[in-house]
Structure 1
């Protein structure tokens, strides 16, 4: 499930065991992206905290399905199948409309952004530039988002989701993490800040 050793749930002790217990899903499942941090639990704690605060916080105003869409798109740009598979399942679960979710995924693959508003399309264009050519971003890129009624706070949400997924993609790709044994599409409860359990 990765190119480096991991400590499985049943052999974890101390702080690592406590962290595993915080992020478990059904049957004590811990996503492989978290298991890969097991030799340095402090990095798992940091990873989970930013993931929860950026993607699953109750004070976000952009819809969670759109934030997941950004994550899927960034992961496509980075060729990170692990995150594409996980977060597309999460997107489908949130939308409760497989046909619409599949239309969005097709639009991401083709860069046509089918099924999305002009504002959300601009958000994805910003995500693409921030992922592939961050040095080329200018104030005008932000202005385009504002012209499409995306607030400054929502621009920050988009920025942080893009930044998080670039971090997660590089964690996965750099350590050879696979979805073997994972349960796809689980996510923490966004209404309870300290609840990291995956369901």
Structure 2
């Protein structure tokens, strides 16, 4: 566990915190530092878990999961958030399923040049994610219109908006409290050690 504030370990949790820690457990059975950093205020941890799962892991989402994770990674690059980038780029690369393609996409995102690897709806989503992250006060209706014109429906536009909004929130939470991946199992699809 690593952050600039105290985090409570499972063995020191009271019943209220233990209940929320159990809600926050990953498929590996662990609680990542991104959630554990809330341990002094279990209500914000509970809200965070619910928001995260609704934005990124909801069965109703129709944007392909690899693209959801790629959007997440791009927002994290734009915000210089190493924690989220480590987790969500690992997930995206796994879901892309092609090492060469993933490497090309990763380079393009780090270069802030998604047009080098994307076109159509995928490129429109990356442009939307960048503008909403870097210049949120300059968003206009035409930014949403561009997504529609690229073939996305309003539900998918909402999905993208929520993913971008969530990662802007969590990147600031992580960077603002110095949360690191120390002790975490990095990536949703990683195998737990042990």
Structure 2 length normalisation: TM-score?
0.91
Looking at structure 2, the residues matched to 48 and 26 of structure 1 have their Cα atoms a distance apart, in angstroms, of 13
In structure 2, the residue matched to 1:112 is 113
* Cα distance in structure 1, aligned partners of 2:112 and 2:15: 46
Residue deviations 1:130-153, cap 9 Å, x none? 111111111111111111101111
1:22-37 equivalent positions in 2, closer than 5 A:
22-25=23-26, 28-37=29-38
Match of 2:167 in 1: 165
Asked whether the 8 Å contact 2:23–2:46 carries over to 1, the reply is: no
Structure 1 residues 4-23: aligned runs within 5 Å: 4-23=5-24
Residue in structure 2 matched with residue 49 of structure 1 by the alignment: 50
Q: What does residue 71 of structure 1 align with?
A: 72
CA change 1:122–1:101 in 2 (3 A) is: same
Q: Which runs of 4+ in 1 moved over 4 A?
A: none
Question: How much does 1:26 deviate?
Answer: 6.5
Structure 1 residue 89 corresponds to structure 2 residue 90: yes
Q: Report the Cα distance in structure 1 between the residues aligned to 2:57 and 2:27, rounded to whole angstroms.
A: 19
Match of 2:179 among 156, 177, 180: 177
1:75 touches 1:165 (CA, 8 Å); kept in 2? yes
Residue 156 of structure 1: aligned partner: 158
What are the Cα deviations for residues 20-65 of structure 1, in whole angstroms up to 9, with x where unaligned?
1222246642100001000000000000101000100000010011
Using the size of structure 1 for normalisation, the TM-score is 0.89
In 1, distance between residues paired with 2:62 and 2:155?
A: 8
Distance 2:28 2:51 in 1: 24
1:74-110, CA deviations, whole angstroms, 9 ceiling, x for partnerless residues? Answer: 1111100010001111112222322222221111111
* Structure 1 portions without partners, runs of 5+: 188-199
- In the other structure, the counterpart of 1:191 is none
SS in 1 for 2:123: helix
Q: Please list, as runs of the form range in 1=range in 2, the aligned pairs for 1:134-149 lying within 5 A after superposition.
A: 134-149=136-151
